[in-house]
Amino acid sequence: MGYKICSKKTYEAMVQEYNEILTKGLNIDIRRGRPATEQLNLSKAMLKCKPTDFIAKGTNADIRNYGLPTGLPEARKLFADLLGLTPDNIYVGGNSSLNLMYDIVANCLLRGVLGGERWLNSPKVKFLCPVPGYDRHFRITEDLGVEMINVKMNADGPDMDTIEELVSSDPTIKGMWVVPQYSNPTGITFSDEVVKRMANLKPAADNFRIFWDNAYCLHHLYEDKQDKVLDIIEECRKAGNPNMVYTFMSTSKVTFAGSGIAVVAASPENINFLAKQFDTATIGYDKINQMMHVEFLKDAENVHKLMMQHAKIMRPKFDCVLKTLKAGICNSNVATWNSPRGGYFISVDVMPGCAARVVDMAAKAGVFFTNAGSTYPYGKDPQDSNIRLAPSAVSVQDLKVAMKVFCLCANIAAYEKYNF
Ligand SMILES: Cc1ncc(COP(=O)(O)O)c(C=O)c1O
């Protein structure tokens, strides 16, 4: 079909190599963005951090007891400093930001947003989903019965022309998922222009909310080349939309995945409203864990030092993936990929119609990649092209093997689809 992939001889040699790999009994899993053991060890000392004083700063509250529903004041301050905000912008929750997102979407549907009706009063509830994006965002909205609309992701953020047009004309569009920095999976960071345009949206729905998941805002790969995204809360305030955004982050990949602490940052009005809504579900989150985090992480400067130790572990893995792709993909038609400056993922677009085949061939050889389609709502990539690589949890040695297999599968699948 008009694409030159490689010669027949090269193709046959690759098939032979692939068949030999099938006999090797490989078992390498790079499906999910988990921190490596070495990274988890960076925070081992936190488990020894015993609070010296159980009274939360500036209060009479004993952290071992109920109370302080918006979080430990020390933890609110730490996150405010990290995000360039003030503590009244911060709600410290439990161990998972995804859990906070789920609860907020559910509350919006059932109980409404600050100053607006509950979403379920609308004949339909729709979300805009920049693609490729984070599969677990899409699962939340799919599970809760929200209709999802794909929006193209560009190199500087989602396609704002489409977003502006849809949001301003359709009152059933109630929300939007975004990962603004070192995005999952494309690794891109939103430009200032995209952030400003997003803050200046004029939604047809008065209860529209942006779900700004800043999961990777601290996860730079380099000391000297770091992306920075504009403060959406401030931009929304300036635009006269102060309550239009909920932002999220957590320490899942700073300290311990699944045992960190998670945060919502938003306007003080939104935070107070949220605290009231959440008050029905919990008398407060785990302040002992919050205190241990504060004792261990100390301040923003110390967190940045810790993140550079993470970067030192992550960088060779990203380098390995990029180098192996460059050497192993036989032709620029076969695949394109990004070279992010941070985050946890490398996103590869193989030739249309080949992604599921590549993931399947690799799985038969014992190398497991995130399912094709999972970076799209409903698991359906219309082009069957995008594959997310998550190199963090395995050794460089295993990555080299995994990526070699990936390249072979991408080359073979492309040849068989376009040169047969
Ligand atoms: C964009 C994004 N948000 C949230 C999460 C999960 O965060 P948490 O562990 O705080 O629930 C991930 C994990 O991979 C992620 O990639």
Domain edges within the chain: 8-30+304-418, 51-298
8-30+304-418: what CATH class? alpha beta
Which whole number is the average pLDDT over 70-84? 97
Ligand 1 atom at minimal distance to the Cα of residue 179: 1
- Whether cis (ω within 30° of 0) applies to the bond prior to 180 is no
Nearest ligand 1 atom, CA 252:
9
Q: Residue 209 pairs with which residues in a beta bridge?
A: 175
Helix, strand or coil, per DSSP, at residue 154: strand
State the residue for tokens 């999972």: 374
Index of the ligand 1 atom closest to the CA of residue 99: 11
Ligand 1 binding pocket mutation candidate from 40, 184, 189, 261 (most atoms within 8 A of CB) = 184
Distance 215 CA to ligand 1 centre (A): 6
**Ligand 1 midpoint to CA 401 (Å):** 27
pLDDT in tens, 158-197: 999 999 999 999 999 999 999 999 999 999 999 999 999 9
According to the model, what pLDDT value does residue 187 have? 97
> What tokens were used for 407?
């390249």
Q: Please tell me the predicted confidence (pLDDT) of residue 325.
A: 98
Cα-to-centroid distance, 52 and ligand 1 (Å): 31
Q: Give 384 Cα–ligand 1 centroid separation in angstroms.
A: 24
3-state secondary structure of 388: strand
Sequence-distant (≥ 6) Cβ neighbours of residue 404 within 8 angstroms: 324, 328
Asked if pLDDT for residue 217 goes beyond 60, the answer is yes
pLDDT category at 210 given cuts 50, 70, 90 is very high
Mean pLDDT within 335-347: 97
Closest CA relative to residue 403, chosen from 331, 346, 338: 346
The rounded mean pLDDT for the chain is: 96
What pLDDT does 2 receive?
A: 65
Ligand 1 — pocket residues by CB below 6 A?
33, 96-98, 134, 179, 184, 213, 215, 250, 252, 262
Report pLDDT digits (tens) over 117-155.
999 999 999 999 999 999 999 999 999 999 999 999 999
**Considering only CA atoms, which residue is closest to atom 16 of ligand 1?**
184
Residue 1 has pLDDT above 60, yes or no: no
Q: Whose CA is nearest to atom 14 of ligand 1?
A: 33
pLDDT tens digits, residue range 342-398?
999 999 999 999 999 999 999 999 999 999 999 999 999 999 999 999 999 999 999
Which pLDDT tens digit goes with each residue over 252-280? 999 999 999 999 999 999 999 999 999 99
| Angstrom distance (rounded) from CA 367 to CA 375 | 19
Which overall architecture, per CATH, does domain 51-298 show? 3-Layer(aba) Sandwich (3.40)
How far is residue 11 from each of residues 246, 407, 413, 420, measured CA to CA in Å?
50, 12, 10, 11
Model confidence band, residue 51 (pLDDT cutoffs 50, 70, 90): confident
What does the pLDDT read at residue 419? 85
pLDDT of 250 reads 98
